[in-house]
Amino acid sequence: MLSRLRERAEKLTTPVAEKVAKVGISPDSLTFLGLVTGTISALLFAQGNHALGAVFLLLCGGLDAIDGAVARISGQVTRFGGVLDSTVDRYVDFFVIAGIVWGGPPEILGLSGWVWGFLALSGSLLVSYVRARAEAAGADRLDVGVAERGERLLILAFGGLIGLIGYALVIVAALSHITVIHRLAVAKRRLA
């Protein structure tokens, strides 16, 4: 969903990316810095410091938003850079949700926070997997669905900021699996 706003977002991220590129920071360095900030976010969530965890999660998302732009601006776009970025994104997704679960989210709708965490994690990983697998099979760009990575990060960050991280986890769990089903339906239609 946010991918449709990418053109507008680029107007905001491009000036930042240009300044970062002029300083000489490589896109891969930004990707690793995103991993560091994502890991710090996970540790803060695990300690129950949801608001600060959310701030670091937003910082991580910001770094993820500009690393590709820095690569394009500085002429450092590589296929490996894309693979590295996607891999680090999956690690961050895992660490953050694991940190939230470790911190002990409440029981919601009769299910423990651990169950919601596993549902959110599996959905988050499958959203990315279905896209990668379908695109590799020839389904073209499959950036459809209501819970792409940007949306999931924003939901978790917002939940952390307002003190409702457990409910944010439930929303991510539900929307990510809806997105998986949506992507499978679109892939089936495109690959028929």
Residues assigned a catalytic role: 89
- The neighbour count for residue 184, using CB atoms within 10 Å, is 15
Question: What is the Cα–Cα distance from 45 to 77, expressed in whole angstroms?
Answer: 33
Question: What is the Cα–Cα distance from 173 to 48, expressed in whole angstroms?
Answer: 20
Question: What is the Cα–Cα distance from 39 to 35, expressed in whole angstroms?
Answer: 6
CB 10 within 8 A of CB 69: yes
